[in-house]
Amino acid sequence: MQPVPSPARRVVVTGLGLISPVGLTVEEAWRNVLAGCSGIRTITLFDTEKFRVKIAGEAWGFDPLNYMGPKEARRADRNVQFAIAAAQEALGQARLNIEASNANEVGVLIGSGAAGIHTYTAQQKVMDVHGPSRLSPLLIPMITVDAASVQVSIFTGARGPNFGVAAACSTGAVAIGEAFEIIRRGDAEVMITGGTEAAVTPLGIAGFDQMNALSRRNDDPTGASRPFDKTRDGFVLSEGAGVLVLESLAHARARGAEPLAEVLAYANTSDALHFTNPDPEGQQAARAISHVIRKAGCRPEDVDHINAHAASTPLGDVFEVRAIKHALGKHAARVPVSATKSVTGHMLGAAGAVEAIFTILSLRDQVLPPTINYRTPDPECDLDCVPNTARPAQLRVALTTAFGFGGHNTVLALRRWEPGDEAA
């Protein structure tokens, strides 16, 4: 069966960009993911003496001056700096130059969960010590959810649709899905899209820790994120950005661009249940999975791989397994389910975009990334989670799931691009 999205206007991925704890480029990060090299270490961005959680996934070695001038760097929150850097790499891979002739056709949609929390925290200290008159006049535009989209648009000159989105931990996937829909309905030919986050701050770490959401395995940073393992005790907070260039197939073909993958479908549902806890039975998450499969023109048995949200929380991993079983039925036992947060930690609003990138790379290279730190099987998480070691596979269609606090359930369906797919 050749799954093809029902609308005639098809959307492909032509560029990828990444800033992460496991690498500051797509290929560096991918090598480390496949090798199972964790990006979790002891926090260096601030003094953790008074904190119960002392580990995180920082964007190790990131220097904004490698991507922009000092003035631009000062005017951009850390999450925006990540987005600009990742967008540059994605546009470079896509070989897309934005000029007066095409600027109106290119939009930007980059989401963030905590947005400018880095700047907010720093500026609060300035006001507490020096008073309100010393605040930066750019404080407000630096901390808003749309800041990354706005500044990437200014940086690149893209003049198409431009806005930000926030959907907690599913933000990055929602941004990609909405950008996909923008292109399908003809409001843009190209979208620079994804998610970014820089919440490894005192407020971010302490806030999530007060929710008992974070792992406190300070003595074992690289082993702290362990999705699907029975001994998991919470997620590890990380930072970074994932940015993709999406194009209409016709536009990509006209300029001679080589697609990396095709976006088949996007689905989104809500648990409508609780501020943080998911539906323990995963019914609405299952509905999102089933819906995206139908919209992609597929059957459950056409799904070859899932890059799971799987954040390493006691409840969340179980609910996702149940959702996959509800949606795929007997086929769930045969589908390999990778949890790349075991390597990267949880990048919040960037996670869905970063994991979409890893899913595309899995399709490109025909390989399943490992779920590392899987030592003690959990009877409630009895799927093939690709434990500890990457392995080759024949992959055509893959899903990536992203679930967020507040009951957000988002799923993307992606297809490997092969010669002849233009006529499919």
The CATH number assigned to the domain holding 89 equals: 3.40.47.10
Give the pLDDT confidence score for residue 24 in this predicted structure: 98
Are residue 273 and residue 184 in the same domain, yes or no? no
Token pair of 175 as six digits: 């941004």
Total of domains in the chain: 2
Q: Is residue 121 in some structural domain?
A: yes
Are residue 249 and residue 267 in the same domain, yes or no? no
Are residue 248 and residue 112 in the same domain, yes or no? yes
Q: Is residue 392 in some structural domain?
A: yes
Residues catalogued as catalytic: 169, 309, 346
Of the residues 221, 254, 287, the one at which a domain ends? 254
Q: Give the start-end residues of each E strand in 124-239.
A: 162-163, 190-197
Token pair of 240 as six digits: 């970074």
> Hunting for tokens 């679930």 — which residue is that?
403
Q: What confidence tier does 424 reach under pLDDT thresholds 50, 70, 90? A: low
Q: Is residue 221 in some structural domain?
A: yes
Indicate if the pLDDT at residue 92 is higher than 70: yes
Q: Is residue 1 in some structural domain?
A: no
pLDDT tens-place string over residues 49-67: 999 999 999 999 999 999 9
Are residue 133 and residue 21 in the same domain, yes or no? yes
Provide the domain limits for residue 206: 11-254
- DSSP type of residue 336: B
Give the pLDDT confidence score for residue 276 in this predicted structure: 72
Is residue 257 within 8 Å of 294, Cβ to Cβ?
no
> Mapped to the 3 state alphabet, what secondary structure does 144-173 carry?
CCCHHHHHHHHHHCCCCCEECCCECECHHH
> Hunting for tokens 């431009």 — which residue is that?
162
* Kind plus residue range of the DSSP H or E element containing 16: strand 11-19
Q: Is residue 423 in some structural domain?
A: no
Are residue 241 and residue 139 in the same domain, yes or no? yes
Are residue 301 and residue 209 in the same domain, yes or no? no
- DSSP type of residue 278: P
- Of the candidates 357, 358, 388, 361, the one whose C-alpha atom is nearest the C-alpha of residue 374 is 388
With H, G, I as helix, E, B as strand and everything else as coil, classify residue 141.
Answer: helix
Among the residue ranges 2-6, 11-15, 76-80, 416-420, the one predicted with the least confidence is 2-6
Residue 167 backbone dihedrals phi, psi, to 5 degrees? -145, 45
Mean model confidence pLDDT for the chain: 95
Of the residues 227, 254, 281, the one at which a domain ends? 254
pLDDT tens-place string over residues 13-31: 999 999 999 999 999 999 9
* 219 CB-contact burial (10 Å; exposed 0-12 / middle 13-18 / buried 19+): exposed
* 37 CB-contact burial (10 Å; exposed 0-12 / middle 13-18 / buried 19+): middle
Are residue 65 and residue 17 in the same domain, yes or no? yes
Are residue 291 and residue 380 in the same domain, yes or no? yes
Are residue 246 and residue 266 in the same domain, yes or no? no
Are residue 193 and residue 274 in the same domain, yes or no? no
* Cα 412–chain centre separation: 11
Are residue 17 and residue 113 in the same domain, yes or no? yes
Are residue 85 and residue 229 in the same domain, yes or no? yes
The rounded distance, in Å, linking the Cα atoms of 299 and 302 is 5
Q: Is residue 422 in some structural domain?
A: no
Predicted TM-score (pTM) of the model is 0.96
Is residue 142 within 8 Å of 119, Cβ to Cβ?
yes
The rounded distance, in Å, linking the Cα atoms of 259 and 12 is 6
